[in-house]
Structure 1
């Protein structure tokens, strides 16, 4: 909430939001050696999903997708991937995946490219496309949305932090 408040007009910001204490995130040497972990819970009209992605130095270490159907409440694992194996489960069990799947490409992205017409894959990807605002640092218009200081030292520090977090 604090970063959102910093971008708005202070007069219009709620007093409580402006009073949230800012606690800087400290990177430890141990945390630097561990993967960056993302866990998303989201709901569409058809199902609730849990997507987990662990990335280290742009390599996918672990990834999984689980689903709970809204109409039946039935839970099912759709896939699990780690550095050694990839398991497609349930309705994804009939899918074929390349033996040479890139270690830097999330399986969800691969399924989106290969099986975009599948109802479940389409449901998940539609949620990502509609609900997550991805920044493409190669796009000059989107780059303008990222406010970075003119100081070369601070800019370098911020960009290194983003890189170390695999963002």
Structure 2
């Protein structure tokens, strides 16, 4: 599971930006936090994080920064069909620096991520400039431990191996455009490398800002998973009793029973909301089943708030989310910005500052003039629309400051 992600000089983000999944010491929804015997010493992890903010504020770019890092690692491995894990809806995101000043255009884009696998935590860092890897490193430590071990370090063409893989005879000459992590995964069967790359491969990336995505359907043939999909649809008052894919027509058909008679409806004739659920539910249930990270831009698009709450609660329900799956998404739906749905540290905002740089902060980070946190009993959506959180420039953008 992901613990911490930071990046610098990517699209609308110039300065270092940190997105933290570690749970704050607050009482709300404590039962939903991701913890285990191994991780209790090192804090709990959030199962859900949501990003709000105006159009153009940087929501999509933040999600794309994480997607970019994942694709940098996974793409070379997948192109040579050396991946260990089945890829689910991953797509390539290009690495573009901040373009609104001369210095940033000539500096590398940097990414750093901390994530946990079983009893270990890994820290991976990579800096890329014009497609060339400038610097790269991978470290590990036991969760709750203090000693950090080096897997490898790279500065341009110089590569230093840690004791974890130093005993293995590996090549230190690598194409400057390829991550050394990917190179090792392609050419060697080193347990620590396989474990790390498999985690990157397991991540799911989706964007519903693109209309065509609603038509990308991945329905399960697995009997048990198929039952879960249909049960979830029925829980949401969508009375589908089965589905099938016609390979000749290349069309998905849903089945219903009305007054004892069975009917089939082509996917193209379903409502937009049902299409969205049919597209989203299988990948969300796969994530919950396998303990994967899911990154979705505009998850709320075409979804009734009731359906969005249902999806959020799946990830926050410890009886359903038993393997540490995580959901990170952007949204414009303020009806779910409530203390009955989210913890304060699960709600994040992004907006442009006066220098046209995107900035992010969590609801828990906000303090009033008396240095007090936003109350857990506050009406988050109402206060957001009143502009109390600093990330609601809708009216200001539409009318200008002088109108206010």
Query: Are the aligned partners of 1:88 and 1:95 in contact in 2 as well (CA < 8 Å)?
Result: no
Structure 2 residue 206 is matched with structure 1 residue 125: no
TM-score, normalising length from structure 1?
0.61
Alignment of 1:1-167 (within 5 A): 23=57, 27-70=100-143, 74-98=147-171, 100-116=173-189, 118-131=190-203, 133=205
Query: Counterpart of 1:98 in 2: which secondary structure?
Result: coil
Query: Counterpart of 2:205 in 1: which secondary structure?
Result: coil
Paired residues in the alignment total 124
Query: Are the aligned partners of 2:150 and 2:164 in contact in 1 as well (CA < 8 Å)?
Result: no
Query: Are the aligned partners of 1:63 and 1:82 in contact in 2 as well (CA < 8 Å)?
Result: yes
Query: Are the aligned partners of 2:157 and 2:176 in contact in 1 as well (CA < 8 Å)?
Result: no
Comparing 125-134 and 105-114, the one that deviates more:
125-134
Q: CA deviation at 1:100?
A: 3.8
Q: CA deviation at 1:54?
A: 0.3
Query: Are the aligned partners of 2:157 and 2:173 in contact in 1 as well (CA < 8 Å)?
Result: no
Query: Are the aligned partners of 1:65 and 1:80 in contact in 2 as well (CA < 8 Å)?
Result: yes
Query: Counterpart of 2:170 in 1: which secondary structure?
Result: coil
More contact order relative to length (CA 8 Å, sep ≥ 6): 2
Query: Are the aligned partners of 1:78 and 1:90 in contact in 2 as well (CA < 8 Å)?
Result: yes
User: Separation in 2 of the partners of 1:134 and 1:101?
Assistant: 31
Q: Which runs of 5+ in 2 are unaligned?
A: 1-49, 59-97, 217-404
What whole-Å deviation, never above 9, does each CA across 1:59-107 have from its counterpart, x for those lacking one? 1100000001238554201110011410011111123333541001100
Q: Which runs of 5+ in 1 are unaligned?
A: 1-15, 136-140, 146-167
The change in CA–CA distance for 1:132 and 1:120 in structure 2 (over 3 A counts) is farther
Query: Are the aligned partners of 2:116 and 2:122 in contact in 1 as well (CA < 8 Å)?
Result: yes
The change in CA–CA distance for 1:19 and 1:30 in structure 2 (over 3 A counts) is closer
Larger Rg: 2
Q: CA deviation at 1:123?
A: 1.1
User: Separation in 2 of the partners of 1:132 and 1:126?
Assistant: 12
The change in CA–CA distance for 1:115 and 1:62 in structure 2 (over 3 A counts) is same
